Structures are given as structure tokens and as C-alpha cells.
């Protein structure tokens, strides 16, 4: 089953075509934790590869490959121009979270950050490393 | 989630990961994930819920790990 409805796929195709720089999606596969009972009985790693392949098929600006080490599996690293900049998604991105992955690609594809000047100024003063983890549940 | 990615793209000192809670139940339990999104910084839960950019930046910069 396609991950987008035809009208959404066309929209994403257009957005990807406008990326200022190419973005690579790298999937890390490895041993998976047992999900909660009631979670769909699927191969999360294989499905993650499928989602990433479908996204990469929408534009020459988005490429993908499989093969990386990660803290947990599956994981998708989002790398502008193939460079690791510290943004990733852990787990199978499906439902609403496919939109999150698309959003991540769009942001990574920008040459300039899209935060407001005040935010950028505040972040520039950061004097320590911050690892942000956002726990989500696809609906 | 996107704000976390934007922050990570804007700063070499910041990394951001979206984590699907139901696929990593042991981790979700450790971080006491009930409501989503739950924002964790450097392994310490900070808050639940989506917030606007200014609030997100303020909270991330003033995150405490004590």
C-alpha cells in the first residue's frame, strides 16, 4: 500500500523537487525490541526500508541507503548532503509520523535554518551539548 | 518534533531524535511516557506537549538534569 494518497504524493514530490540541497536517508537495521502487545505484527525494519525507499523515489534530491549503527533499531538518519548533523527517527515512521519524516527532509534540505533570528541567537549562546529526544506515537 | 529537528540543524551542539514510544516500551517506561509528545533532554524528561517556537527554545536552553 502506498504511503501517500495520490494528491499528497504529488505535493510531496513538488516539495522535494524544491529542496535547496540533497538529503540522504540512511536506515539502520539491527535487533529490535519487542513492541507492546497490540502493536501490528510486522517486520519494523523491513517496513522502515520500504517507507524510506518510497520517499526517495519521489525525487532525485532525496537518496537513501541501508547500513549504519544506531542506539536502537530500526532508525532513520536524515543527512543533508550526506552529512551527519544529529537528526534521526527511531522506529518505523508510519501514519502521522511519515509527515514528520517528510518535514525533517524539508528542513534538512534548507541551506539556512528556518528558526526565527531570536531563536538562532539564543541557540548560538549554548555552552553545552543537548541531546533532545521526542517520544511520539503515530495515530 | 519539527522544532527539535530545526534546533538540531541550527546548532552543532544539539541532536534530535524522534522515538516511537510503542516500539521501544522499555525506554518509554523508563522515561515515563504517558502523554505525547514527551520531550526529554540529555536523558531527563522535561515536559509533555507541543509548544510554540519561543517556548520550545527557552525550555530546551534552560533544561535541567539534576
Which pLDDT tens digit goes with each residue over A31-57? Answer: 887 766 665 678 899 999 999 999 999
CA angle at residue B61 from B57 to B66, to 5 degrees? 140
Residues in chain B: 66
pLDDT the model gives residue A134: 97
**Banded pLDDT at A109 (limits 50, 70, 90):** very high
pLDDT the model gives residue B65: 78
Q: Is there a contact between A113 and B9 (Cβ–Cβ < 8 Å)?
A: yes
pTM: 0.94
Of B2, B7, B38, Cβ closest to residue A123: B7
Which pLDDT tens digit goes with each residue over B7-39? Answer: 999 999 999 999 999 899 999 999 999 989 999
Closest CA to A79 of A105, A114, A53, A61: A105
Q: What is the bridge-based pairing of β-strands A87-90 and A62-66?
A: unpaired
Which pLDDT tens digit goes with each residue over A59-95? Answer: 999 999 999 899 999 999 999 999 999 999 999 998 8
ipTM of the complex: 0.97
Least confident of A26-40, A112-126, B40-54: A26-40
Of B15, B24, B61, Cβ closest to residue A90: B24
**How many contacts does A have with B, using Cβ atoms within 8 A?**
175
Cβ <8 Å between B20 and A87: no
Alpha carbon distance A5, B41 (integer Å)? 35
Cβ <8 Å between B8 and A85: yes
Q: Is the pLDDT of residue A139 over 60?
A: no
Identify the closest residue of chain A to B36 by CA–CA distance. A136
Cβ <8 Å between A89 and B54: no
Residue B50 C-alpha, separation from nearest chain A C-alpha, in angstroms: 10
Residue A4 class from Cβ within 10 Å (0-12 exposed, 13-18 middle, 19+ buried)?
middle
Q: Does B55 contact A at CB distance below 8 Å?
A: no
CA angle at residue A97 from A31 to B36, to 5 degrees? 90
Cβ <8 Å between B23 and A89: no
Cβ <8 Å between A135 and B6: no
Amino acid at each position: 500500500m502506498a504511503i501517500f494518497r495520490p494528491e499528497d504524493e504529488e505535493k510531496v514530490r513538488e516539495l522535494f523537487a524544491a529542496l535547496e540541497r540533497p538529503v540522504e536517508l540512511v536506515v539502520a537495521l539491527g535487533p529490535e525490541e519487542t513492541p507492546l502487545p497490540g502493536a501490528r505484527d510486522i517486520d519494523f525494519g523491513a517496513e522502515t526500508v520500504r517507507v524510506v525507499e518510497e520517499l526517495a523515489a519521489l525525487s532525485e534530491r532525496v537518496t537513501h541507503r541501508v547500513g549504519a549503527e544506531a542506539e536502537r533499531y530500526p532508525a532513520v538518519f536524515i543527512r543533508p548532503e550526506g552529512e551527519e548533523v544529529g537528526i534521526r527517527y527511531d522506529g518505523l515512521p508510519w501514519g502521522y509520523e511519515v509527515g514528520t519524516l517528510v518535514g525533517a527532509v524539508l528542513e534538512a534540505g534548507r541551506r539556512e535554518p528556518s528558526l526565527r533570528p531570536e531563536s538562532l541567537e539564543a541557540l548560538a549562546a549554548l555552552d553545552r551539548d543537548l541531546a533532545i529526544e521526542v517520544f511520539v506515537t503515530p495515530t | 518534533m519539527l522544532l527539535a529537528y530545526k534546533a538540531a540543524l541550527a546548532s552543532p551542539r544539539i541532536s534530535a531524535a524522534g522515538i516511537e514510544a510503542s516500539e521501544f516500551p522499555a525506554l518509554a517506561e523508563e522515561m515515563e511516557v504517558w502523554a505525547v509528545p514527551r520531550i526529554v533532554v540529555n536523558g531527563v524528561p522535561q515536559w509533555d506537549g507541543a509548544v510554540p517556537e519561543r517556548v520550545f527554545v527557552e525550555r530546551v536552553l534552560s533544561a535541567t538534569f539534576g
